[in-house]
Amino acid sequence: MTPFLRRQRALADFTLAALARRKGKNIALIAVYSVVVFVLASAMFFAASLRFETTTVLEGAPEITVQKITLGRQDLIEGSVADEIAAIRGLTEAHPRLWGYYYDRINGANYTVMVPDDPEMMPDPGQIAIGEGIPRARGLEWAGAPVFLSRYEGDLKKFDVARTFSRDSALMTSDLMLMNEADFRDFFDIPEGRYTDVVARVRNPNEVATIVQKGSNALPQMRFVTRADIARTYQKLFDWREGLLTALAFAGILAFVIFAAEKASGLSAEEAREIGILKAVGWNTRDVIAMKMWEGGLISLAAFLIGTVAGFAHVFFFGAPLFAPILKGWAVIYPDFPLSPHVDGLQLLTLALLTTLPYIAATVVPIWRTASADPDAVMR
Amino acid sequence: MRRSSYVFAGLGALTLLLAVELYYPVFARPHRDGRLLEERRLVARLGLTDPALFTEARYTRNPSLADLNTPFQDHPGSFDHFPSGTFVPPPATPGKGWLLFQPEAAK
């Protein structure tokens, strides 16, 4: 070992012995510090994973969705509008869709009911395909149990479950119910020729803006939603949500900052005396600061490692159980989805710097002031 | 053994644990990507636009397709009814401009 390393090792030993003398206080400090890092790291991992999955999966979302707006609300659209839209140059196809929400009077859940465009996905009359959340919300324990839907008191309609979407796609399909078109029109009393909205596919994605411009001119009462709009909505939503979690953690962080600042800057008389003695026996200012750097470094590194390791396990191995109640809100159905493991290296580095550097600085700065003073004055 | 040996060993073990955890996404990537590809295909086939995170209201279930007046969906100036409204920001309204008129003489 080089003399430099041997010196640092000895300093570390000395620091640990000093920390061990105030064992209770320092263990409490590391515990609180770790919890702060844990909350921040969990929020970061959780948001990064959700953001990653949503943005990846929504690349498959329809390029253009056209809605009819009446009295400020979305209204049913005539099927003929699809032909008018399809006539816009640059579009390869446009077809009307049927979908909507169904409020389940039995358990208070909302389902998203949809008629698939794809004939392969279309269930037979009297059958439905459902997401994993519906049997869970309904308490349908056995496979093949039919679903009874009721629109008003005394009304009961039976549907056989042809297919249940797996947990793998739960983030997108948890509350989904696919229905045959005839069943849909009959159940929700939608007249023939009316639809919920129209989706369109474009030939060249770069032309979307021009096509929307042309479409809005031709059909001014329609609202055009593009895939970029959807992506923007989610970008905003996740920024907002992450900010909110950080805001929730902010109170905790603030308490910690006060705690750490008190501990670090409000140098106890005992610590000041210790520094005075060290200087009196021949330590120079650099040694004292190096020792304090070790102290801050060891504490913050330990807290960062414990908090991050625990936060990662909390989110990816246990499915973030601490966040679920906040995110569930009032919804009866909350998707039971696997969080896709995804780590943003830059975010992790930011977390490391934001949590360790301020603490080290808060420890070293007041010490530097004391250490550069005359030992006699400090000890007295 | 010196005191620092134990502490360094503990920190080393934690670092190793973190490294293992950070390797986990790399290890799980083929499975994850396969799953996401399937999910993306399903999204494309069904034309889905939003994740089913908040199912209690139209504007939280499908924020990208919701009406622009959704925060006031029941009557103008009504308070947001659902806790998820906290998580789903109000839609970005396009109108930030002014419509200005000039007197005829000033033209």
Is A284 a residue whose pLDDT tops 80?
A: yes
Span A294-313, average pLDDT: 93
In a domain? residue B105: no
Mutate which: A330, A332, A337, vs B, most B CBs within 10 A: A330
A173 Cα to chain B: minimum distance (Å): 7
Task: Give a yes or no: residue B3 inside a domain.
Answer: yes
Which pair of tokens denotes residue A242?
Answer: 């992450």
Encode pLDDT of A112-169 as tens digits: 999 998 888 899 999 999 998 888 888 887 777 888 898 888 888 899 998 889 888 8
Domain with B61, as residue range(s), is 56-90
* B8 shares its domain with B40: yes
The per-residue pLDDT for B56 is: 77
Cβ <8 Å between A13 and B4: yes
Opening angle at CA A187, ends A182 and A189, nearest 5: 90
Q: Say yes or no: B44 and B60 in one domain.
A: no
- Per-residue pLDDT of A67-116, as tens digits, reads 998 877 788 999 899 998 988 888 888 999 999 999 888 888 889 999 99
pLDDT in tens, chain B (107 residues): 788 889 999 999 999 999 999 999 888 889 999 999 999 999 988 888 888 888 877 777 888 887 766 555 555 555 666 666 666 666 665 556 677 777 877 55
Q: If you average pLDDT over every residue of chain A, what do you get? A: 85
The answer to whether residue A248 neighbours chain B at the CB level (below 8 Å) is: no
Q: Are A114 and A183 in contact (CB under 8 A)?
A: no
* Number of neighbouring beta carbons within 10 Å of residue A335: 21
Residue B20 in any domain: the answer is yes
Tell me the domain boundaries of chain A. Answer: 3-57+233-379, 77-195
Instruction: Quote the CA–CA distance of A349 and A295 in Å, as a whole number.
Output: 21
B67·A168 Cβ contact <8 A: no
How far is the C-alpha of A15 from the C-alpha of A305, rounded, in Å? 19
Residue B61 falls inside a structural domain: yes
Does B86 reach chain A within 8 Å, measured CB to CB? Answer: yes
Whether A57 sits inside 8 A of B50 (CB atoms) is no
Domain count, chain B: 2
Among B7, B63, B68, select the one facing A16 at the smallest CB separation. Answer: B7
- A176-179 and A157-164 strand pairing: unpaired
B46 interface with A at CB cutoff 8 Å: yes
B21 touches chain A (CB under 8 A): yes
Is residue A20 within 8 angstroms of chain B, CB to CB?
yes
Q: Is B65 in contact with A343 (Cβ distance < 8 A)?
A: no
User: Apex CA B65: angle with CA A102 and CA A235, to 5°?
Assistant: 120
Residues B37 and B2 reside in one and the same domain: yes
ipTM at complex level? 0.77
- What pLDDT does residue A246 have? 72
**Shared domain check, B44 and B3:** yes
Distance CA A28, CA A357 (A): 20
